[in-house]
Amino acid sequence: MLIYLLDMFGTAVFAVSGVLLAGRLRMDPFGVVVLASVTAIGGGTIRDMALGATPVFWITDTNYLWVIFVTCLFTMAGIRRPQKLPWYVLPVADAIGLAVFVAIGVEKALRFGASPMVAVIMGVLTGCGGGVIRDVLAREIPMVLRTEVYATACILGGIVHTTGLLTGFATEVSSLAGIITTLTIRLAAIRWHLSLPSLTLR
């Protein structure tokens, strides 16, 4: 239940990031909902399609869709009244959602008989896929392709998760270790502005 609630929390946070980007691009309400939806559930949808998990998760559990719609309404209503939130609130919330999404992606892939390497990839896809679709629709370079430490945190968290299972630790312990790893690396990147070196051709 805790993981499920955190999953819903992550869905809402990712939806907010889609709404904010849609607002900067001056999209209409339909565009706002579309961008919020692909951000929140796009990665998990691609994961389920790749694993052959039909129907995809949000078809059997429409709570995800309701969370997105309600988040869109509240965010669109609140965005007209500027709030003085600390700069780190949304990035930290995003990091929590990201860490949970990765763990869920890894676990689902393993349940479908995927190898540990594929499970890590599915975890990264679950965490980052929606953001990639969002940025492509907005004609921006996806965050995971920039120098910021984002996908790297997902990869390392997924590796810790699968390694824990391979060495005999319980599923709950391995999942928690993966979540903590992803979250810690992502929070460190936010706090100290960590980034990977970029490729520069002259």
Asked, for residue 146, whether it belongs to a domain, the answer is: yes
CA distance 148 to 131: 14
Asked, for residue 48, whether it belongs to a domain, the answer is: yes
> Residue 81 has what pLDDT?
59
Place of tokens 């629709």: 137
- Helices then strands, each counted (H, E), the chain: 8, 0
Asked, for residue 197, whether it belongs to a domain, the answer is: no
pTM for the predicted model, two decimal places: 0.93
86 backbone dihedrals φ, ψ, rounded to 5°: -55, 145
For residue 70, give both structure tokens.
């309600």
> Residue 83 has what pLDDT?
61
> Residue 11 has what pLDDT?
96
Contact 151, 195 (CB under 8 A): no
Place of tokens 């990765």: 102
pLDDT tens, position by position, for the chain (202 residues)?
788 998 999 999 999 999 989 988 999 999 999 999 999 999 999 999 999 998 999 999 999 999 999 999 999 988 765 566 688 888 998 999 999 999 999 999 999 999 999 999 999 999 999 999 999 999 988 888 876 899 999 999 999 999 999 999 999 999 999 999 999 999 999 999 898 887 777 6
> Residue 189 has what pLDDT?
95
197 backbone dihedrals φ, ψ, rounded to 5°: -65, 145
Asked, for residue 200, whether it belongs to a domain, the answer is: no
Asked, for residue 95, whether it belongs to a domain, the answer is: yes
Domain count, the chain: 1
Range of the domain at 37: 2-192
Closest C-alpha to 183, from 104, 93, 105: 93
Asked, for residue 74, whether it belongs to a domain, the answer is: yes
Q: Coil, strand or helix: which one is 195?
A: strand
Contact 177, 157 (CB under 8 A): no
Asked, for residue 62, whether it belongs to a domain, the answer is: yes
- Quickly count: other Cβ atoms within 10 Å of residue 17's Cβ: 23
Asked, for residue 199, whether it belongs to a domain, the answer is: no
For residue 107, give both structure tokens.
């676990």
Q: Could you tell me how many residues make up the chain?
A: 202
CA distance 49 to 127: 15
